[in-house]
Amino acid sequence: MNFDIQARWRLYITDNIWINITDTTISTWIVGAVLILLAVVVRVKLKKFKPVPETRFQNIIEALVEFFDNHVTTIMTKKYAHFGAWFFGLFLFLLLANISGIFGLRPPTADFATTFPLAFTTVILMQVIGIRYNMKKGEYVKEFFRPVFIFFPLNVASDISRSISLSLRLFGNMLGGLVLMGLIYGLFPRLVQIGVPGALSLYFDLFVGALHAFIFVTLSMYFLMMKVPETD
Amino acid sequence: MLNYVYQNLSTVLSVAPVMGHEGAVASIITASIFGAVIAVLAGMAPSLMQGYTAARAVEAVGRQPEAAGQIRSTMIIGGVLAETGGVYGLTISLLLVFVNPFVDMYLDAMAAL
């Protein structure tokens, strides 16, 4: 049993420098292609959408968008609700990436190289939202020197460590599920493999995947809200 | 799992640059597995406290059934935040078992001598 990330192809730039095309890369491309396809289909069908939904497709899309819109406005208030566009895209990507294990792909989120950049984006967004909305009296800068100025390195470290805890949570859960499912598939003989691990796969791939995609996005939004003035 | 360890051991030993260190490598792998077991025990406390969170959430819903939705989402956030420590332990144990750095470290050190 081997749970390493396999490099499938190599793109040589020069003889000594190459780019590995790994399992993660391939599944990320597939997930991205599916998302782009979905976006194009929705855009084309958008002209035929009625004020009162008639088709099942429109109902599903509207329910998804409305659910996420409500969630974003509860956490981030109306003023910052436009950040929901980024988080909705992130949520859909993570959702598809986490449950792609069902379709035989290696989940891209079971690779620290996927989760860490996504979590680091949150840290950068925290600084952006702080500078954009919390700079009137220099509150954004002052926040780093709370409660006294000696705490500056600690505050910077706590900002950066958020990316680590956020990414390790997603990565650990997805890799743990991957390893556990691999071991369970190895445990059963071929004939029983169809039925029994299916129930566990439902839990580890579907439930944990969807839950942690949601958690990642929700925690990111909470972290963003820490950087803006509280009285709004 | 054991099968994997044996494979790992045999591949390490077949390419070992320094012969005569098989016993040391075997004990390094054994110690790593013990370490992984101890690291996984870190999951105990988060599980306990997640159960406690759920229990208190049930109490809260019993007291205020109309706030059930908000209580549920807050409970999930709290539970997942509590899970972080357990996931750290899990990550460390997975690293120890599947990408063990200490064998390479030992062989490098022996080769440098």
Domain boundaries, chain A: 47-225
Where does chain A have alpha helices with state H? 23-45, 56-76, 84-99, 112-133, 139-142, 152-187, 196-201, 208-225
Compare CB distances from A175 to B4, B81, B94 and report the shortest one's residue.
B94
- A vs B: CB pairs below 8 A: 41
The answer to whether B77 contacts chain A (CB < 8 Å) is yes
B56, pLDDT greater than 90:
yes
| pLDDT score recorded for residue A232 | 53
Q: Average per-residue pLDDT in chain A?
A: 88
| pLDDT score recorded for residue B4 | 58
Determine, for residues A169 and B99 on separate chains, whether the beta-carbon distance falls below 8 Å: no
Q: How far apart are CA A198 and CA A202, in angstroms?
A: 6
Give residues with Cβ within 8 angstroms of A184, minimum separation 6. Answer: A197, A200
| pLDDT score recorded for residue B18 | 52
Q: Is B106 part of a structural domain of the chain?
A: no
| pLDDT score recorded for residue A108 | 92
User: Is the peptide bond prior to A147 cis by the omega test (within 30 degrees of 0)?
Assistant: yes
| Domains in chain B, number | 1
Determine, for residues B76 and A172 on separate chains, whether the beta-carbon distance falls below 8 Å: no
| Model confidence pLDDT, tens digit, residues A20-50 | 899 899 999 999 999 999 999 999 988 888 8
Question: Are the beta carbons of A214 and A67 closer than 8 angstroms?
Answer: no
Q: Which residue has the higher pLDDT, A81 or A231?
A: A81
Nearest chain A residue to B76 by CA distance is A215
Write the CATH number for B42.
1.20.20.10
Strand locations in B44-96, DSSP E?
Answer: none
Q: Is B112 part of a structural domain of the chain?
A: no
Place B9 in a pLDDT band, splitting at 50, 70 and 90: low
Compare CB distances from A3 to B81, B84, B98 and report the shortest one's residue.
B98
A204, pLDDT greater than 60:
yes
Place B60 in a pLDDT band, splitting at 50, 70 and 90: very high
Question: Are the beta carbons of A88 and A65 closer than 8 angstroms?
Answer: yes
Question: Are the beta carbons of A173 and B87 closer than 8 angstroms?
Answer: yes
Q: Average per-residue pLDDT in chain B?
A: 83
Q: How far apart are CA A86 and CA A63, in angstroms?
A: 18
| Percent of chain A scoring above 70 in pLDDT | 99
Domain that holds residue B41: 2-9+22-99
Q: CA end-to-end span of chain B, whole Å? A: 33
| Model confidence pLDDT, tens digit, residues B74-100 | 898 888 888 888 999 998 998 888 888
| pLDDT score recorded for residue B19 | 64
Contacts of A219 in chain B (CB under 8 A): 77, 80-81
Q: Is B107 part of a structural domain of the chain?
A: no
C-alpha distance from B108 to closest chain A C-alpha (Å): 22
Place A231 in a pLDDT band, splitting at 50, 70 and 90: low
Residue B73: name the closest of A70, A82, A91, A203 by CA.
A70
- The answer to pTM > 0.95 is no
C-alpha distance from B83 to closest chain A C-alpha (Å): 8
Q: Is B16 part of a structural domain of the chain?
A: no
